Structure 1
């Protein structure tokens, strides 16, 4: 769910644009913290957690997080589960300071009872949704390729750590990119850009 597929974004953006149903092309970027990709999967009868694409190992500390917040998660997803079979909350399991770890949510995938999936920006209120970045405004004359290029360029400006030593950005757990979503929910797709991670990896390779 955190894959950075720019070609897919461009394709979906242009398809949505051609539909003629988009009234607002404003995008907002949210800073993406470094860490493990993680998901909380909620159904009518179960709540489970995954790290990456597989169930979290039994001894992974995210299970303690889930146990602590399970009642809150059930409360905020109850309304959606009236018309959906599954809710997936995707985010990052990350360092939260003072040697602690926590879950930072970014994306919600709601799967309807018939099986249709819809991805949107995380908007539940059981956990923090801070760290918003810039806003970009496009128009119907802007192609998906141009919109993607602008988001990549803006993310590069916001998360360029080339002036820091290779290990410093990582040790400080600085944001590694942005998650871009349309401000008003629509058929426009979201985009994940992790430019800073690329910078850190490239610089580390030369040291």
Structure 2
């Protein structure tokens, strides 16, 4: 993975890296959801997933505008993360439409939790931007309810989707660890530490896993 463009201050470098990471994640989420929509079982599902894709592109445009306002080049800012994110999606290609929904439900939500946590050490403007472009409850709610309906219609999906969810969590945490180590974001995890003796990285990962388990339980699946 290439390094993000250098900045004079460490916080500026961290902020630039996070903005590039978030921008490319939003752009790739748009591409992924747009592609997955083609395999929807109904036209209503296709429309709903397409709306999620449009929302992700809107998020990308917000981050791109913020990056441009800082005098940075969007391509250069995203470049360090393209290979890593593309490789993640290549390793986690869904086998069908239901697996694509779980992928969006797991990968996007774990990523959103991670970005919100590491943005805590940045300035108010960047922190607010990162929070505003993460997956909304409306998006998460649609995925949750559609997956519940699918599991109700076909209970045999449960074991397969639970296993797929565990694999996706592992991939998401592995990428989070790599990025956190490269850009030394662990100090931001103090905001989610349960006590003063908890190591920041341990606290952050416990937070990510706890939230993931809660979301999977909402589907009636074991994390």
TM score, norm. by length of structure 1: 0.31
Which structure: greater helix fraction?
A: 2
* Larger relative contact order (CA 8 Å, sep ≥ 6): 1
